[in-house]
Chain A
């Protein structure tokens, strides 16, 4: 508890730095490309069109029980992208900040935190793509849409926790970056992004249904879809799994990061 308090105090003191680092990333990312923010929207949108075209020709999504495959798919895409970008950039953030860390005292957790925040900003921008797809496919607007904030925010906390662990580990072992790249590609296929395990038949569906519950990302994506696509209230299981995964990841992340942060300077 006192650990959390110390973190919050530091956080308050350096909130402007956090803000400035995010706006720096933002300027550097968007200043030079003519289309600017438009890319954040266009990229998932084009991706979505391609994937819908591919999967709809191979499989009949409607008979597989997914009513609006475009929206179903893009929600999975966007949330998974957020997790992917957040953890990957957070992972190398401490190393990238080496020139700064060597010169002044700054609470070091600010670097992974900044990257995850910046990914969230990007993710929120890319929700424009979601809106476009919803309008285009004539998806109904449900009153439950604001509930999607819950899976989004818990996913943010979860990503932060994972990012803290990874960034601390990467300082000591650089090759974790490559391992994580492989892991996350594998994880993508087990996050129910372009299929619905509940509706899936056959032995593969059987196995997926049994194991996919162990993937936290599945629950965040599922919760988001319930609120936005199905117009349902979040069920009890989704609620607690989202919160529990987030809190456990954050707690582990903070403890790992804190125990290692004084040694960073000797390894970067």
Chain B
């Protein structure tokens, strides 16, 4: 039973210092310290958030802009260390938070595939094995030896998505990645994620497309200004979330 929880987020808070003047030089810092002005405007992007994702879940995360969704995913992926609380992830994790981490625009696509692959912790041997699969999926074989700076942004995302999903991770966390690319590629991405799920991958998805969440997810958490507003079954939460829309419309 214990092992079926793939992601556990326990009372996580994430605090940012929104200091208006960042003390980036020693002089400024010392002056501020002498004047006793060395306080920061604290801002909680997440406050006491808890959630559990079980094996096989297709978990959705919804909320308005700035509600902390991306921050939560980054905490789970280990990019941020939470200011309070703890996060446990069982198994390997493929973060599709911001695609193409480590891409160097001056290098060619071929070189970038290796660079980005190793950033994600893959071995060069594994990348070589899967190289053709990556290229075929992104459909960019003709552009392999072109520096990435000559690519369109959609083309860059295609490559990035292909690399990031080439492994069979235990957990896939995805932040609005399905909104990149043209509609054919979006369908392809959705199919890829379904395939991964069929292979036992647990997915945590952030999306602003509520009908996509309703179509794909089975559980949803709704974040509002860094707190969990509602969590549970996809139908109930999505209904309530959509009611928010009507509520504000009725209000105005």
Contact = CB atoms under 8 A, between A and B. Distances in A.
B97 A103 contact: yes
Given A24-B111, A265-B80, A104 B119 contact: yes
Interface string B106-147: 110001001100111111100000000000000000000000
Nearest to A263: B81
Contacts of B27: 175
Contacts of B151: none
A174 B23 CA distance: 9
B65 interface: no
A262 B102 CA distance: 19
Interface residues of A, number: 26
> What is the predominant secondary structure among interface residues of chain B facing chain A?
loop
Contacts of A101: 79
Interface in A97-142: 99-106
B121 to A, nearest CB: 7
A154 to B, nearest CB: 29
> What is the predominant secondary structure among interface residues of chain A facing chain B?
helix
B79 A27 contact: no
Interface in A224-268: 262, 265-267
A104 B95 contact: yes
Contact of A105 (B22, B79, B98): B79
Contacts of B77: 104-105
A53 to B, nearest CB: 38
A14 interface: yes
B17 interface: yes
A13 B121 contact: yes
A14 B121 contact: yes
Contacts of B119: 17, 100, 104, 106
B211 interface: no
15 contacts: A17-B119, A20-B124, A24-B104, A27-B111, A99-B101, A100-B101, A102-B98, A103-B79, A103-B101, A104-B120, A173-B25, A173-B29, A175-B24, A175-B25, A175-B26
